[in-house]
């Protein structure tokens, strides 16, 4: 898709106005806003189910990823009338807001429109909103594995496998993915639970792993604690936290994707094989489908205690 002036495209039954499609968002590779729109339009069938019912926070890069981006929670004034929004209380707002009017990206045209805002990254909470807009319980645990150099993706793989086994012992199934950056994510479908309970359980699992493998894993956020270890961020399961959605692009030096994986890929232990650019992801999805589809089906209740 090219052209300097505004253009309009059809996305299902919507007409979406696009601008500056030649704008380069990833300077190293020449990946443009038009390429971003094209990716999100084509990945929509597998991405949208992971966004359904979840308020979306965009990370926007209108000047390209070579410049600082910003998180955009509030729906902008030019949000089209057909795009659903939901207003939720914001008790933890760092900007002193009482509420936030979130975007709900639930159809291909909404993804295209958000991409046209240079919304490179899509972040969602581990809970949905109900049909009347109220916040529901956490329905997926998220463990965000962030390596502290010189640790890297290889160490994240080791931690992911250990977490998988610990969760399986509690009757829970974990589904892995790369974050699109240096780390990994684990998604664990559960029956809806209060955010505080979900975070408490996730912390217990992470802390037990840290105790058993103190040279490999850490649960404390302080940078001084993390060199050579993998930080297990269990706090992603608390009410206000969000995590980049599966199949979202990431604003790295080169465009990469937060991609759901299969455990056999993780078990091979080859970090170089766990970095995916958009075109490869689209080919993979066409061939293999969504490796995280089972996350959408729900899961068992959290263990008591």
Question: Stretch 36-41: mean pLDDT, rounded?
Answer: 97
**pLDDT score of 4 more than 60:** no
For residues 288, 289, 290, 296, the Cα torsion angle rounded to the nearest 10 degrees is -130
The pLDDT value recorded for residue 97 is 76
3-state helix, strand, coil in the chain (%, to 5): 30, 25, 40
Separation of alpha carbons 75 and 57, rounded Å: 9
Residue predicted with more confidence, 287 or 95: 287
CA distances from 72 to 7, 167, 219, 238 (A): 24, 34, 28, 20
- Residue 234 contacts residue 142 (beta carbons within 8 Å): no
User: Is the link from the previous residue into 150 a cis peptide, with omega within 30 of 0?
Assistant: yes
Question: Stretch 18-40: mean pLDDT, rounded?
Answer: 96
- Enter the tokens of residue 268: 């091979």
- Read off the pLDDT of residues 92-121 as tens digits, 9 standing for 90 and up: 666 667 899 999 999 999 999 999 999 999
- Residue 297 contacts residue 173 (beta carbons within 8 Å): no
**pLDDT score of 3 more than 60:** no
**pLDDT score of 147 more than 60:** yes
73: left (phi over 0), alpha (psi -120 to 50) or beta: alpha
**pLDDT score of 131 more than 70:** yes
Residue that the structure tokens 């760092």 belong to: 94
**pLDDT score of 1 more than 60:** no
| Neighbour tally for 15: CB within 10 Å | 10
- Residue 145 contacts residue 134 (beta carbons within 8 Å): no
Q: Which stretch of 148-152, 208-212, 221-225 has the lowest confidence by average pLDDT?
A: 221-225
Tell me the pLDDT of the chain averaged across its residues. 93
pTM of the model: 0.94
The pLDDT value recorded for residue 2 is 46
Question: Stretch 166-184: mean pLDDT, rounded?
Answer: 96
């Amino acid at each position: 898709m090219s052209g300097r002036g505004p253009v309009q495209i059809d996305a299902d039954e919507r007409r979406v106005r696009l601008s500056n499609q030649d704008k380069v968002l990833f300077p190293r590779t020449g990946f443009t806003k038009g390429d971003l729109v094209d990716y999100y339009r084509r990945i929509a069938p597998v991405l949208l189910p992971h966004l359904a019912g979840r308020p979306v926070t965009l990370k926007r890069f209108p000047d390209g990823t070579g410049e600082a981006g910003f998180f955009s929670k509030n729906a902008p004034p030019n949000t089209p009338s057909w795009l659903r929004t939901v207003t939720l209380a914001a008790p933890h707002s760092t900007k002193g807001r009482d509420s936030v009017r979130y975007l709900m990206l639930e159809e291909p045209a909404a993804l295209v429109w958000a991409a046209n805002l240079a919304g490179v990254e899509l972040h969602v909470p581990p809970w949905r909103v109900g049909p009347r807009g109220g916040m529901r319980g956490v329905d997926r645990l998220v463990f965000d594995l962030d390596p502290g150099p010189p640790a890297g993706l290889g160490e994240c793989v080791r931690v992911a496998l250990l977490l998988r086994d610990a969760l399986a012992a509690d009757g829970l199934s974990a589904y892995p993915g790369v974050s699109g950056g240096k780390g990994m994510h684990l998604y664990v479908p559960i029956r809806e639970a209060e955010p505080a309970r979900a975070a408490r359980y996730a912390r217990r699992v992470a802390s037990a792993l840290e105790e058993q493998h103190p040279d490999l894993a850490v649960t404390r956020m302080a940078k001084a604690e993390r060199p050579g270890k993998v930080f297990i961020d269990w706090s992603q399961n608390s009410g206000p936290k969000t995590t980049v959605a599966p199949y979202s692009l990431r604003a790295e030096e080169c465009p990469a994707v937060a991609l759901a994986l299969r455990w056999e890929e993780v078990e091979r232990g080859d970090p170089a094989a766990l970095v995916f650019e958009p075109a490869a992801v689209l080919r993979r999805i066409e061939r293999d489908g969504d490796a995280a589809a089972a996350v959408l089906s729900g899961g068992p209740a959290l263990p008591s205690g």
